[in-house]
Amino acid sequence: MSRIKVFNLPDLAEGLTEGEVLAWLVKVGDTVELNQPIVEVETAKSAVELPAKWAGVVTQIHAEAGTVVEVGKPLFTIDTDPGAGPLPPSEDSLTAVTTAAPEEPVEPGVIGGPAPGGRTAVLVGYGPRTTSAKRRPRIGTPTPSAATGATAEPVTPAPEPPAPVVATPSATAPVTTRSGPVLAKPPVRKLARDLGVDLTTVTGTGPLGSVTRDDVQNAVAQPAPTPAAATFDASREQRIPVKGVRKLTAENMVASAFTAPHVTEFLTVDVTRSMKALDKLKARAEFAELRVSPLLLVAKAVLLAVQRHPMVNSTWSGATNEIVVKEYVNLGIAAATERGLIVPNVKDAGRLTLRELAEALNTLVRTAKSGKTPPADMAGGTLSITNVGVFGVDTGTPILPPGESAILAFGAIRPTPWVHKGKIKVRQVTTLALSFDHRIIDGELGSKFLRDIGAFLTDPEAAILSWT
């Protein structure tokens, strides 16, 4: 059995065809253990670390960081029995990267070019080196002759002739400013003041470089330098490749926007009592180690409102001409990451206690920020929340994730003048926005669902007692 094992990029999620190498966690020559993380790869779903399927020594890395690799193509090679001595020629040939013959001659040692032993040269630092680096010789330093190997005579450059001194500045000459004192007679200084000429910018042609009346007159006659025209081309543009998570998100959003007819409704809510309820939760021992935010109560409000309006938690099946109502809620939470927007979800969130829901949200957000959200956590969402309030935004009109019928935008909570018990008081107020698929949810259902979420957040303690 071969001791050389080639690890090919697996299909990390159904339907994926490629992945981008983000970072290598090992280098050629490192000894690795079974299941040790080797490389971080970003797919259209998320960034994941791929572990070694064998223990041994890394003998080759087939793709540098930043390279997009197709599913099934080699990523790295491991020698599973490095202590057994040198590889036989038949085994050693397995570590070479096979490439198509180039149409034009390629210099030996260059990536993709021929190398000793019939191999193809691989990445710098990871393959054979057949040429030595050459540094351009310094001027005047003896250098080996390419033809004879003898030492060439040092070459001394001829000095350049000094530039001619021009008495009167050219119309295109740059304006310079004198750093020392200006030599000029009092009448010349008065003339310069009267004509608005800055003597420090005038080149003197008089004795010892003093400024004369003619110099001042010439400075006035010389046209003022014009600023360089602004350019509007690629030199002032930045191009960001659309790939990975950002590419998939864009495709999904376009598909959703032009497939499901979106409707958005808004509701402004006094959440003062919700904020007080959060303070009570934070003081309880079972929540001491958890981050408890307003999102927890919004999520609970959505889950309880789904129990009263189950049709909201459904999807439109064009293939079977059916509305599929889900009896479970995989609650998606939109998360902004460095690689783009993702919407991981809490599986079967409706079955969780408030404490379990808080723990699940903490884990979801922490994993998303680290960029380690697995594809399984982003699959199967049924209903989503996007918390735009964390950015100081009041609300928005969110687009539905594909396959879902509703998404709630939760805005910033602000102290606001509010009529409370017949008097104007400063209350904690937020704005909710519910976007929904009008093929499934009509105006009445969407309004009742949003109303019940608002009612819960207005008085969560009373809602929990009366709804459950």
* Residue carrying structure tokens 């399927």: 53
The predicted pLDDT at position 236 comes to 83
With the CA atoms of 60, 63, 64 and 65 taken in that order, what torsion angle do they form, in degrees rounded to the nearest 10?
A: -130
Q: Please give the pLDDT value at position 233.
A: 86
CATH fold label, 244-467: Chloramphenicol Acetyltransferase (3.30.559)
- Within 10 angstroms of residue 79's Cβ, the number of other Cβ atoms is 23
Active-site annotation holds for 62: no
- Tell me: the pLDDT tens digits for 210-253? 899 999 989 888 776 667 788 888 888 888 787 777 777 788 88
pLDDT score at 304:
96
The pLDDT of residue 83: 79
Predicted pLDDT of residue 144: 42
Catalytic residue among 62, 262, 420, 438: 438
The second-level CATH assignment, the architecture, of 4-95 is Beta Barrel (2.40)
Task: Label each residue of the chain as H, E or C.
Answer: CCCEEEEECCCCCCCCCEEEEEEECCCCCCEECCCCEEEEEECCCCEEEEECCCCEEEEEECCCCCCEEECCCEEEEEECCHHHCCCCHHHHHHHCCCCCCCCCCCCCCCCCCECHHHCECCCCCCCCCCCCCCCCCCCCCCCECCCCCCECCCCCCCCCCCCCCCCCCCCCCCCCCCCCCCCECHHHHHHHHHHCCCHHHCCCCCHHHCECHHHHHHHHHCCCCCCCCCCCCHHHCCCCCCCHHHHHHHHHHHHHHCCCCEEEEEEEEECHHHHHHHHHHHCCHHHCCCCCCHHHHHHHHHHHHHHHCHHHCEEEECCCCEEEECCCCCEEECEEECCEEECCEECCHHHCCHHHHHHHHHHHHHHHHHCCCCHHHHCCCCEEEEEHHHHCCCCCCCCCCCCCCEEEEECCCEEEEEEECCEEEEEEEEEEEEEEECCCCCHHHHHHHHHHHHHHHHCHHHHHHHHC
CA-nearest of 7, 70, 63 to 36 is 7
Q: Copy the structure tokens of residue 229.
A: 């025209």
pLDDT at 244: 74
Domain boundaries, the chain: 4-95, 244-467
pLDDT digits (tens, 9 = 90+) for 150-208: 333 444 444 444 444 444 444 444 555 555 678 888 888 889 888 888 888 888 898 88
On whether the CB atoms of residues 9 and 48 are closer than 8 A, the answer is no
Q: Is pTM, for the whole model, over 0.85?
A: no
Residues of the chain with pLDDT under 70: 1, 13-15, 45, 87-180, 224-226, 468
